[in-house]
Amino acid sequence: MCLFHERDCDSVSDVDWNNIGFKARETDQMFVMKCNANGEWHRGQLEPYGVLKLSPSAGVLNYGQGLFEGLKTYRTEDGRLLLFRPEENANRMILGAQRMCMPAPSVHMFVDAVKQTVIANKRWVPPVGKGSLYLRPLLIGSGPVLGLSQSPEYTFLVYAAPVGNYFKEGPDPIHLKVEDMYSRAVHGGTGGVKTICNYAPVLKAQLAAKKEGFTDVLYLDAVERKYIEEVSSCNIFIVKGNVISTPEARGCILPGVTRKSVMDIAQGLGYKVEERKVHINEVIDADEAFCTGTAVVLAPVGSITYKDTRVSFPKQKVEQHERVASNLYKLLTNLQMGKVPDTRGWTMEV
């Protein structure tokens, strides 16, 4: 067992651990592994963090053939470094690669690459309670193509960056605007996998909403425009009494690892958890709402604005510790940070 202490962080002298935010930062090393046209992966290796050399006709640049994942490492109070369910991210990348006609590293390859990246950048893991080390695995078509086709070469890489809160609100509630013009995904498309081409299209609506003072955008289904789907980069839940509901993941919704974990935790607490179509009117009538994701963890929603109607949450005045989102956040983060025994086998020590 390797023990890493806060002194490991002291050598990173230019980082204000109290204000690290969520942004790209040049760390020490990244893991790189390549696959040939026959689907054979070559042995990967750690390299200094730096610029990638790509052909201008690389498949990822011309046709968007690429996937990414996101997961975190936390430093525990007794000096350990913990990953949270990395095999789930590996399996999701494998499913995404099938949809995008790409070879994918095995679960073992994926997890080993992530571990190597953590160890190589361990001094960048924030001190306890100051944040986490965000890991970004990427799978891209790096070989040259001109006509629309699969890439003759693929690159799998993992890099890392220390991060704090994703939203500018920090731990405070976020405010969402329902988008009723633009769509995030359609049935038969790629909304259910974490491909890179899903994310840039949300920027137009997101930037417009932010100019109006909102935190982010909540998307509706592309057909009837009355069922909620996702926020730009995270899943959403609503609470009504003892029932917690979230849109079903059937091609348009990304099956988030945090989403899955929160559903399991909630069921263990006795809540009835439903995956189904959720009508926008149900959102307006809900008691609470919250978002989940690796980056956002679990963020309470303070308000949702649909057309000219703004609904604030929670509907009833309750103490912070009585809110469903607050309790789920505490249970989830206590597991991720090693503050409670992991009876579910979700954490993995590096």
Q: What are phi and psi of 304, to 5 degrees?
A: -130, 130
Query: What count of Cα atoms within 13 Å lies in the side-chain half-sphere of residue 23?
Result: 6
Report the interhelical angle of 324-336 vs 257-268 (nearest 10°).
110
Round to whole Å and give the CA distance between 336 and 347.
Answer: 7
Output phi, psi for 279, to 5 deg: -70, 145
- Cα distances (angstroms) measured from residue 64 to each of 115, 200, 266: 27, 11, 37
End-to-end CA distance of the chain: 8
Which amino acids are annotated catalytic? 194
Contact 236, 247 (CB under 8 A): yes
Pairing relation of β-strands 81-84 and 347-349?
antiparallel
Distance CA 17, CA 12 (A): 10
